[in-house]
Amino acid sequence: MIIVTGATGQLGRRTVELLLQRVPADRVGVSVRDPRKAQDLADRGVRVRQGDFDDPDSLRHAFEGAEQLLLVSLDRTGEECVTGHRAAVDAAVQAGVGRILYTSQMGAAHDSRFQACRDHAATEDLLRATGLPWTALRNGFYASSALQFLRSARHSGDIALPADGPVAWTGHDDLAEATAAILLDEGRFQGPTPPLTGPEALDFEAIAEIAARATGRPFKRTVLGDDDFREQTLAHGAPAPIADLLLSIFAAARNGEFTAVDPTLAELIGRRPADFRTLLEHEWAE
């Protein structure tokens, strides 16, 4: 059985749907904090169990019988994140899981400027120490993050953000398809994968040009100082830790941590991954 955590989230849900197109429903299980949100999956024959990263006993029960476990990284940062991942990894070992796949990130490193990438590196260390077969999916930076940064610019035409660097923005649909392919081809990767990226690395100067071509309207790129960006983010109601986390994305991009473009994602899905213009046009058409 393949067990997927975070199966009501963007990546987890897409991956489950793709698995269900290719294997019987009784070979798929999900571990979710609120089983009510996965009732439609239960109705289709998927095993739904409650699994809470703050309740290790529930995780052991949710992971029971897993030949493979897809551990979708938590939407937390720092020690809180790593602690949750440690609980899941320990529960997987105790439940006798055969193989763990973990949604890491292309910039995972202990010295990353981006906290989330340091958390991914720490989690990969936990997986390495289990002695189990494991795979870290080094996912390209989610394009949805760039699209969130563009929300105000969509109407103002001014992309006012800190200085950045090229990022291999990558779509959730393509990453979910690759994740399903790796789950169904057991043993294809041991340890970290190559970067699973979109077809190009773009900074926000290039994105401004793409937005202008896509919409027929002018867009300009304004470089904000880091302090100004942080103050604006706080003024919009974000807590200080979130403002600092967002700012660290730009620091890491300036440091060249997300520039790699690799063919592995295209090979896994059998086509060219969606480029940023396609993702932007889809988002802005809604």
Judge whether residue 210 has pLDDT over 70. yes
Judge whether residue 286 has pLDDT over 80. no
Q: In what order do the strands lie in the sheet with 134-139?
A: 47-50, 28-32, 2-5, 68-71, 99-105, 134-139, 191-192
Judge whether residue 188 has pLDDT over 90. no
Over range 48-74, report the average pLDDT. 96
Q: Tell me the pLDDT tens digit for each residue of 101-157.
A: 999 999 999 999 999 999 999 999 999 999 999 999 999 999 999 999 998 899 899
Closest by Cα among 62, 65, 123 to 97: 65
Q: Give the pTM.
A: 0.94
Q: Tell me the pLDDT tens digit for each residue of 23-39.
A: 999 999 999 999 999 99
Residues 6+ apart with CB under 8 A from 27: 1, 2
Judge whether residue 164 has pLDDT over 90. yes
Task: Compute CA 3 distance to the chain's CA centroid, rounded to the nearest angstrom.
Answer: 17
Confidence of residue 42 (pLDDT cuts 50, 70, 90): very high
Directed axis angle between helix 276-285 and helix 204-215, to 10°?
50
What pLDDT was estimated at residue 187? 67
What pLDDT was estimated at residue 191? 96
Q: Give the dihedral of Cα atoms 104, 56, 83, 74; nearest 10 deg.
A: 40
Q: Tell me the pLDDT tens digit for each residue of 216-245.
A: 999 999 999 999 999 999 998 999 999 999
Over range 260-274, report the average pLDDT. 97
Domains annotated for the chain, with CATH where assigned, are: 2-139+171-192 (3.40.50.720)
Residue % of the chain over a pLDDT of 90 = 94
